[in-house]
Structure 1
Amino acid sequence: MHLEIMDNNNTKYIRVARSYREFSKEENKYKVRKKTINIGPLSKFDDGKPNFIERLKASFKAGTPIIKELEPYVSKEVNKEIYNFQIHEGTDECIGHPKLFANLLFDKLMDEIGLTSYIGSYKKYDKINYDVLGFSKLLIYGRLLNPQSKIATVNQNKDYYNEIIDEDSYKYNVFDTLDFMYKHKNAFFNRIDQVLRKKAKRTTNVIYYDVTNFFLYSDDTGYEFDDEGNKIYHSIATPGVSKENQKLPIVQMGLLMDEQGIPISIEAFQGNTLDHLTMQDSFNNSVDYLKDKKNRYIFVSDKGIGKGGNPRFSVINGNGYLVSKSVRGTTKADKKWITSDKDYVYNGEDFKIKSKTYEKVYKLDDGTELKSSEKMVSYWSKKFYNREYEEQKSFYDTLRQIIESPESFPSNRLNNNKIKKYLKKQVLNDETGEIIDSDKLKALIDIDKVNEDLSLLGWYSIITSETYMDEREIIDTYHNLVEIEDQFRVMKSTLDTRPIFVRTDEHIIAHLTMCTISLILLRLIQRKITLKFQKTLSADRIQSALNKWKVEKLADDYYRFNDIDDSDLKLILDSFEIELPKKLYKPIDFRTLKSNIKLS
């Protein structure tokens, strides 16, 4: 049986036709006859997606019709196709040129998070005359598959099956695309947020926030001096403390993350900006949903960002906070409470926990006071103690050697800031930094301070406005912050976000925006795998697997997929219900794949 589309009085109908042979006595020979069954008007079944008739015929032939009315007429034994084609020596078909096919999945994800239509609408609004959507896709997809410079990424266009931009496109429009991304950064993150709340059940009752920095492959950091002699930098890229200890300009980036581990938005700052000074601007400039006073959230971050006025900022804006608090840097009273064994609840010998609640008073800008409650959770873990001790072991061994053999340590080695912390101040020359009497060095090490430091290993404390939460829930919520550290690791490794090669502030921010959108797509793929199979793949393995998903042209317009039996790639395809039977394909078959990808 096969499908036919019949035209009757300008109305198209779907019918099933079966050909058979019948002997004609009049003509004394067999004649081919055809029996047809009318299914109904085409308009009744058309799903409105491209190439419906071709997809319908292909699905019927494959034995899996896309409309149920055809199921009774599907052949139970599908005849397997036999491929007959020839490749001639000396022709281009003798040389394989596998093409990337993962952009099919990326295209679908871009459609689903609303960026395809959004970029299209802004192109029209901004009266842009180049393919800004195509260039945006190249930047985002290239970062996911094969991170390179901007021009090199544009040159990857020919690596895709169905090139993303026209071959004769002006490649330097990629920098115009960066200007476009910078201009619409907040609108893009806002659109993604709206879609993920609706389609992916994004929740932001808890918002995780952290800061990292990225170094630039440039030392061009122009500055001038103000009236007091302070340097005023012209660029967002400034000297600062790089996480990788690179002596290059850096830019700070604050990242907000939802409870599902998917980035919400980013904000960029000068490289010399202290971490805790980034929090308020990042939240003030974030997506509309978070700026709506009706939508309360709990801000979660580490002790470096949780200090200063950030808890106050959260409370006076109707939100909450849950941040770690330095045990070593806390008040003597809190330190005494933390280390006192009173009221601790033990879980074996390796863990103990307690909490207390007290009143906080915040002064408002109008001079009035806002009273609130704060809960402090303190806990000690043998696991954390062992980890901290191993991290600090070499340093404590050095202190021990100084105590036992002071003559073997020249004074210049003791100028190390970390060691100075444990030297008694009364014997240190403040002008030169040298030890006055090296013979008395043993007495100069503050043993009490060393012992106090050792006694605080393994202790942690968390403070929160959410006094209703129990201790375990507070700890578990805080520990989920580790996921945002993984976001930074992926950006710096898999997505190769740094070093940053562009120079202007606008292009630097656009680069970080593009990398974050790539990260969002990556996280959505990981989340789909997890929800479908209760397992996940690392970012590196996903990148490697999707690079294997290639299609190769053979002859007579036949194509075959490469490596779809790879276990990681198969897991990704199965997660999105992308079925690729073991067969050769025609271009018409590819058109049906994207529409069949399941994302919900």
Structure 2
Amino acid sequence: MYVKASTRKTRDGQTIRYLQLAHNEWDPAAKASKTRVLYSFGREDQLDVAGIRRLVDALSRLLAPADALAAAAPAGLSFVESRSLGGAWLLDGLWRRLRIDTVLRPLVGSSRREVDVERVLFALVANRALAPSSKLAAADWVCQDVYLPDLPHVTDDTCYRAMDQLIEVEPALTRGVYDQIADLLNLEVDLLFFDTTSTYFELDEADEPLWRDQQGRVVAEDDPAAVKQAGFRTHGKSKDSRDDLPQVVVGMAVTRTGIPVRVWCWPGNTSDSALIRQVKTDMREWSLARVVWVADRGFASAENRRFLQQGGGHYILGEKLRAGTSEADAALARQGRYATVAENLQVKEVNIDTDDRFVICYNPEAADRDAAVRQRLIAQLTDLIDDTDRLPATKRAELRGVISTKPGLNRFLRVTPKGLLRLDQAKVKAEQRLDGKYLLRCSDPTLSAEDIALGYKQLLEVERGWRDMKTTLDLRPVFHRREDRIRAHILLCWLALLLIRVAETETGRTWTAIRTEIDRLHLGVFTGPAGTFAQRTELSQPQKALLTKLKIAEPPRIFDATPATA
């Protein structure tokens, strides 16, 4: 397919050129190639240049970015390579807009003048958000696959040295980043949500024990606070159901809008119950205004509650309904009507003789799911124990042992004094009372029951953060064995999550959709007798809209022009 030019002369002798889009086809009858005109553009001097440009842009969108650049290459130039530009440009724009670069640069400096540590750390953060990989693969990604402003080349050794500097400045970095984003994004920190997760390692053996302080930090053996504790990667209760492998515990504090403000990590055998006290102590140094801490049932111990109220603080904590505590039993026994606060949420505040307030939340949809699951479990259990009265006692004991390994079924099993297996009807009725319900404990006397319930419901933002950490950002596998570098890796994941959550909040789109759209923007490199230059693909309207919403300038059309040397 090509553009065919034909000429004609007018009566006054003027030569007029006409342009046509033509295609050569083989004529089997004539056994020759014939020209077929597909479209006539008309007179060359009256050509609709704007219309042709729109046509070329429309056709280019059907091609891969590299192919579109190659197709539009000027005559006499060779298309050398294409690199992804859009994702890195967007993230770098957010990085600079949030002033993370101005916080980080004076902290890390540069041990070698030719290496900009701030740019290397940004590259590692961008890699987590765009193409998560090991640091060795990330260095190759920077050098071969992506265009990063002011960082044409990096090595894996440079990446490791930058990570070592990052973990050294963690306290100042996290405080500085918070100060910047709190002002720029007008963060609401009246509620802070905290939760933990774990990530495991494919290891045969856990790390050797080390001397640590109460916060789990490594200290010298002669330090007054030193206690011999487990290594960093060690066995514990895994939230990924991999108790067989060593792990580390990771904690995160998130605002009500889903912005992660800080991240922590501890040895893998650290229990949840004491962690929130360390978190509050660390956050106290930030001189935050009055804060209500929101956490799930794992943090609701009496010691934690007392600690969270120090300094005028308050809490909203989940309370275990099935624990059989006096507070839970008293709350369920109280009568009263539920008030609907959302389409799938009803609340009822109950008065108990304690200083805390208790709110029972009821979700009708969750109640239906709980009932359906219970009916399925009861049917399975009934099938297992039917006609077991005729079995010998040893066989019934064996079956009892098998059922004890299945918590869902074992919950509804009752064994009579004679060893007979029965369905526990009392347990079934007790569970029916709990369908779709959960109990909240709050120390703040000024919050309404609706605010307490909706505030706790926003704890899902932390869970969404963990989900993105483990999937979109590939928190694991962690390609590090040293404790400081594992901590640095988690810090990089936090910074990446911060950037993508800001992008999602301000555009109203998921990061997956944003990344897919903006990554179509590429930078092509062309070379010819006059030299080499780099040019980006045309910005689409969706790409322009994303950059506008995020207050990021459009990348220039031409990035680099290097004349050929004689």
TM range (shorter): 0.7 to 0.9
In the alignment, is residue 548 of structure 1 matched against residue 533 of structure 2? no
2:90 to 92, 101, 105: 105
1:494 to 453, 457, 472: 472
2:299 to 281, 302, 305: 305
Compared CA separation, residues 488 and 205, structure 1 to 2 (3 A) = same
What letter corresponds to residue 124 of structure 2 in structure 1?
A: L
What letter corresponds to residue 113 of structure 1 in structure 2?
A: L
What letter corresponds to residue 572 of structure 1 in structure 2?
A: L
In the alignment, is residue 284 of structure 1 matched against residue 270 of structure 2? no
Is the 1:223–1:234 contact (alpha carbons within 8 Å) kept by the matching residues of 2?
yes
In structure 2, the residue matched to 1:320 is: 314
Q: Percent identity?
A: 19
In the alignment, is residue 235 of structure 1 matched against residue 228 of structure 2? no
In 1, Cα distance between the equivalents of 2:190 and 2:327?
33
Is the 1:423–1:446 contact (alpha carbons within 8 Å) kept by the matching residues of 2?
yes
State how 1:7-406 maps to structure 2 within 5 Å. Answer: 86-88=74-76, 93-124=78-109, 130-158=115-143, 159-161=145-147, 164-165=150-151, 167=153, 169-223=154-208, 234-246=230-242, 247-286=244-283, 288-289=285-286, 292=287, 295-332=289-326, 334-340=328-334, 342-345=335-338, 347=340, 353-357=347-351, 360=354, 373-406=355-388
Is the 2:109–2:117 contact (alpha carbons within 8 Å) kept by the matching residues of 1?
no
In 1, Cα distance between the equivalents of 2:373 and 2:275?
29
Is the 1:276–1:307 contact (alpha carbons within 8 Å) kept by the matching residues of 2?
yes
What letter corresponds to residue 309 of structure 1 in structure 2?
A: E
In structure 2, the residue matched to 1:17 is: none
In 1, Cα distance between the equivalents of 2:94 and 2:450?
37
1:161-206 CA deviation, whole Å, 9 max, x = no partner? 3565353x54312111221111111211111110112211112111
In the alignment, is residue 416 of structure 1 matched against residue 405 of structure 2? yes
Compared CA separation, residues 472 and 106, structure 1 to 2 (3 A) = same
1:565 to 514, 529, 540: 540
Query: What is the total number of aligned residue pairs between the two structures?
Result: 467
Is the 1:325–1:460 contact (alpha carbons within 8 Å) kept by the matching residues of 2?
yes
**SS at 2:298's partner residue?**
coil
In the alignment, is residue 514 of structure 1 matched against residue 489 of structure 2? no
In 2, Cα distance between the equivalents of 1:125 and 1:585?
31
The CA deviation at 1:129 is 7.2
Compared CA separation, residues 266 and 392, structure 1 to 2 (3 A) = farther
Is the 1:252–1:271 contact (alpha carbons within 8 Å) kept by the matching residues of 2?
yes
In 2, Cα distance between the equivalents of 1:106 and 1:520?
11
1:503-554 CA deviation, whole Å, 9 max, x = no partner? 111111110001000100111111221xxxxxx2222222323322222234
Compared CA separation, residues 126 and 187, structure 1 to 2 (3 A) = farther
- Unmatched tracts of structure 2, length 5 or more: 1-48, 57-71, 212-226, 562-566
**SS at 1:587's partner residue?**
strand
1:33-59 CA deviation, whole Å, 9 max, x = no partner? xxxxxxxxxxxxxxxxxxxxxxxxxxx
Compared CA separation, residues 203 and 232, structure 1 to 2 (3 A) = same
In 1, Cα distance between the equivalents of 2:538 and 2:301?
51
1:452 to 422, 426, 430: 430
The CA deviation at 1:234 is 4.5
TM score, norm. by length of structure 1: 0.70
1:442-486 CA deviation, whole Å, 9 max, x = no partner? 3xx433123212332122211101122221121111111111111
2:503 to 502, 525, 528: 525
Is the 1:276–1:310 contact (alpha carbons within 8 Å) kept by the matching residues of 2?
yes
What letter corresponds to residue 241 of structure 1 in structure 2?
A: K
In 2, Cα distance between the equivalents of 1:165 and 1:459?
53
What letter corresponds to residue 402 of structure 2 in structure 1?
A: R
In 1, Cα distance between the equivalents of 2:552 and 2:51?
21
What letter corresponds to residue 466 of structure 1 in structure 2?
A: D
TM score, norm. by length of structure 2: 0.73
What letter corresponds to residue 259 of structure 2 in structure 1?
A: I
1:62-107 CA deviation, whole Å, 9 max, x = no partner? xxxxxxxxxxxxxxxx99999997444xx7x245423324323322
1:360-417 CA deviation, whole Å, 9 max, x = no partner? 4xxxxxxxxxxxx311111333222013234445433323334534359723312316
What letter corresponds to residue 322 of structure 1 in structure 2?
A: I
Is the 1:218–1:248 contact (alpha carbons within 8 Å) kept by the matching residues of 2?
yes
Compared CA separation, residues 276 and 570, structure 1 to 2 (3 A) = farther
In 2, Cα distance between the equivalents of 1:261 and 1:487?
8
